[in-house]
Amino acid sequence: MTLQQVKQRFGIIGNAQELNRAIDVAIQVAQTDLSVLIAGESGTGKEFFPQIIHQNSARKHNSYVAVNCGAIPEGTIDSELFGHVKGAFTGAHSDRKGYFQEADGGTIFLDEVGELPLSTQVRLLRVLESGEFMPVGSSKVIKIDVRVVAATNVNMTTAIEKGNFREDLYYRLNTVPIMVPRLRQRGDDVSLLFRKFAADFSEKYRMPPVRLTPDAQEVLKQYRFPGNIRQLKNITEQISVIEQEREIDAQKLLKYIPETHGEHLPALYDQDKSIDEKTFKSEREILYQVLFDMKKDMNELRGMVNNLMEDSPVERDVVMKHPSSMVQPASSVAQQEDYVSQNIIRQQEMQSRSFIRKDQHIEEVYEEESLSLVDKEIELIKKALEKHKGRRRNAANDLGISERTLYRKIKEYNIE
């Protein structure tokens, strides 16, 4: 079939270069058995392309099976696609063929393939690699000959990065990619589609077709159409049914177009959203960032305290020479604030790790601390002896060991 013949047969309206390119690729790849992945936003008409491929292939006289993967529950999708044997699960009263067996010798269209569970993706990968699969609950391998065409409206690269889709399966499906353009990319095709839908609804509801004025056509052309062709069809039907006047100007048309303020303006930077969506490579980096922010806050607080002390040299001398005096009721609010601030800083510095930013990387600096059990044991014995002023019996009781054991350890560790 030629490009125009395909458009006439499948009712495709439009002359946009991106649309013609997508149809031409579908016609060319139809003569092979290569897997095809059709990508595009929801409502762009992706469902026509697997039919174009099937009808222009040597499989056109065999089965064509379309499956909406997103509409099948996760618990039953393996059974729906690959079938099951009797007794495989509760309610499996007999053997059942899956969609792949039904499409044997023909073409199967997997719509919304990005919604497949990971376990099902493994089964599908085997079908694409070897043409074999096992029904649910069976150990018998079934061989089939099926052409697989898949479609998705999600960003597959992002899905792979998040671990929601297998990378090896993506490359198996994406042997030949077809990108269906958005409606807002198709220029004058919007007006052609509106006239087509207006004529269809005129015949359906037995009324004259609606027409757009030039200014209304321009409004329609500039609109983003997040719902693509499906949204345009709904708008055309609403106008055809509700409006009494058959000529629609821009003012009337705007009543049926949802407001999308700033649709032609640059995207605004949402700082809060960017923080919420910020991702880190590991929990370690999150900890580093939190502690670095804490260190930054401590430095700012220290600077404020130093400024206060510089403004009041008398109070600074009091703090430096007699820090214990600050426990007593302060003579002024400023002295209390200095005392609290200094103690907070001192405690945080003792408890937190210090971090150094170098070449835009955060390097962690650890204080060396002995982790030897012998060192810890010696330290505890010394503390117990010091606490009980050298009385070994009392020290042994405090440590939970016998006096004889304590004597042996003192001699062993040469503790004075």
pLDDT: which is higher, 38 or 386: 38
**What CATH number belongs to 3-181?**
3.40.50.300
pLDDT: which is higher, 273 or 408: 408
pLDDT: which is higher, 395 or 100: 100
pLDDT: which is higher, 169 or 358: 169
122 to each of 117, 134, 251, how far by Cα in Å? 9, 12, 54
Assess whether pLDDT exceeds 60 at residue 251.
yes
Class at the top of the CATH hierarchy for domain 184-254? mainly alpha
Class at the top of the CATH hierarchy for domain 373-413? mainly alpha
pLDDT at 318: 47
Residue 353 pLDDT level (bands cut at 50, 70, 90): very low
Asked if residues 84 and 96 have their Cβ atoms less than 8 Å apart, the reply is yes
Highest mean pLDDT of the ranges 107-116, 261-270, 353-362, 391-400: 107-116
pLDDT: which is higher, 159 or 273: 159
Rounded Cα–Cα distance for residues 158 and 254 (Å): 35
Q: What is the percent of the chain with per-residue pLDDT over 90, rounded to a whole number?
A: 59
Look up residue 186 and give its two tokens. Answer: 């198709």
Q: pLDDT tens across 5-27, in order? A: 999 999 999 999 999 999 999 99
Assess whether pLDDT exceeds 70 at residue 348.
no
pLDDT: which is higher, 144 or 333: 144
Residue 194 has a CB neighbour count (10 Å cut-off) of 26
Assess whether pLDDT exceeds 70 at residue 286.
no
